[in-house]
Structure formats: C-alpha cells, structure tokens
C-alpha cells in the first residue's frame, strides 16, 4: 500500500466514502477502497482550495479606494498575463486571458507546492501535465474552429501551396498532436528532475546545501509555468489568426 502524505490521509479519512461512491457511478473501483484518494489528486485538491481561498479573499476585500494585498496580487497577475497575451495573440486577446491565467496560476502553484514539507508537486507526475496539455490542445482547437469555421481552419493544415496540401495535411496533424507531448514532457521532466535532485541532496547533506537546490526549484517552477502559458498563447494566436 502506498505511503500517504498527511493531507492525503486527511482527505481519505473524511471523504473516502464519497470518493468510492463517485467511482462506483462510473463502474470503477479503487485499488485500495479504504484509501481511494491518492497523493497526486490530493495535491491537486490542495491547489484548488488554495486558489479558491485566495479569490474569496480578493472578493471579500475588493475595494477601489483601499485595495488590500490579495487584490494587488490578483491585479498584478492579471496585468502581466494580459500584457503577454496582447503582444502574442493580438486583437481579441481579452477573451483568452481567463483561461491562460488559470493555466499559469494552477501550474505555478502546483510546481511550488513541492517546496512545502509534507507536500509534493503534482506536476512531477506525468498525468497532471498531460491533463493540462490536453485541455489546452482542445481549447485552442475549439477556438480555431469557432473563429475560422471548419473550411477556414482546415486551410491552416493545408499550407500556402495547394499542390503540396496532400503532404502538408498529415505533417500538420502530427505537428499539432506532438504539441500535447511537448507540453507534457517539458513540464513533467523539469519538475521531476528538480524534485529528484532536491531529494537526493537532502538525503546526503541535510543542512545548507539543499537550500541552493530549493532556490533552483523555485526558479524552474516559475519558468516552466511561464513557458507553458506562452506556448498556450502562441497556439491560440496561430489558431485564431486570419492572415494565413
């Protein structure tokens, strides 16, 4: 039976019955019925609860005259993401800002969670980056179809030279599918390696030196969340552009 983190044990203690009931609706059964919630899902729940608490604080302290700390942070994040989206996506970027902001903040908090004792980074497991990458893929494909229409969006896959369209179509399809793999592997590999190196040095030299690798983990966490957000914006910009 796998080792439970403290927060995972808390969730299983109070919500194991509810989790098993939800699984049974889909005719699924947990490998360990007394512990149906695993560590990775528990960490995702922790990130969700942290974001929910933060936005509740923002809503409760919302003020034009005297904005509080949470409101300042929310406005800074929104302004930063909006600025990036405007420069990359261009006209009509506003409608995509909520999605890319959520992606950025979720990945950032998931990455940073591993710095806290008793927690792990859920993005250091492949299925979490895969889930976010798949959602991003479906999101930009949907908006490409919605913006261009089926025929117009298909032209993106055929290339500018009509007599090469038979060759470009399979290449473009493979290229788009490879984006899911690229987003997944980039995020997963960096976070997994960061956790592994930090854990190794903690076990060898538990004082002072691991602090350097914790700082490195912090930097990698921010960079990877930023890169994922930028790539999502690039894909959205390409899918919705009319000048192809």
Q: Where are the domains of the chain?
A: 7-37, 40-240
Q: What local confidence, expressed as pLDDT, does residue 154 receive?
A: 85
What is the rounded distance in angstroms from the CA atom of residue 244 to the CA atom of residue 240?
10
Q: What local confidence, expressed as pLDDT, does residue 244 receive?
A: 46
What is the rounded distance in angstroms from the CA atom of residue 59 to the CA atom of residue 83?
23
Picking from 244, 242, 229, 239, the residue whose alpha carbon sits closest to that of residue 142 is: 239
What pTM, to 2 d.p., does this model score? 0.91
Tell me the pLDDT of the chain (244 aa) as tens digits.
Answer: 678 999 999 999 999 999 999 999 999 999 889 999 999 999 999 999 999 999 999 988 888 888 888 899 999 999 999 999 999 998 889 999 999 999 999 999 999 998 888 899 999 999 999 999 999 999 999 999 999 888 888 888 887 777 778 788 899 899 999 999 999 999 999 999 877 777 776 666 666 666 777 788 899 999 999 999 999 999 999 999 875 4
| 8 Å CB contact between 7 and 119 | yes
Q: Which long-range contacts (CB under 8 A, 24 or more apart) does 53-60 make?
A: none
């Amino acid at each position: 039976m796998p080792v439970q983190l403290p927060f995972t044990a808390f969730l299983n203690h109070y919500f194991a019955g509810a989790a098993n009931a939800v699984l049974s609706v889909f005719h699924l059964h947990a490998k360990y019925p007394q512990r149906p919630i695993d560590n990775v899902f528990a960490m995702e729940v922790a990130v969700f609860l942290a974001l929910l608490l933060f936005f509740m604080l923002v809503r409760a302290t919302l003020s034009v005259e005297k904005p509080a700390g949470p409101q300042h942070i929310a406005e800074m994040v929104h302004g930063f993401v909006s600025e990036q989206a405007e420069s990359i996506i261009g006209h009509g970027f506003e409608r995509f800002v909520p999605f890319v902001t959520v992606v950025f903040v979720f990945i950032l908090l998931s990455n940073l969670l591993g710095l806290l004792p008793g927690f792990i980074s859920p993005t250091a497991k492949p299925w979490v980056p895969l889930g976010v990458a798949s959602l991003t893929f479906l999101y930009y494909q949907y908006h490409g179809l919605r913006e261009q229409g089926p025929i117009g969006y298909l032209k993106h896959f055929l290339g500018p030279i009509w007599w090469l369209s038979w060759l470009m179509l399979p290449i473009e399809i493979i290229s788009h599918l490879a984006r899911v793999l690229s987003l997944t592997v980039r995020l997963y590999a960096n976070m997994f390696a960061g956790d592994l190196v930090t854990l190794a040095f903690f076990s060898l030299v538990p004082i002072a030196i691991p602090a350097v690798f914790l700082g490195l983990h912090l930097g990698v966490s921010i960079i990877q969340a930023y890169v994922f957000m930028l790539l999502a914006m690039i894909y959205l910009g390409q899918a919705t552009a009319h000048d192809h």
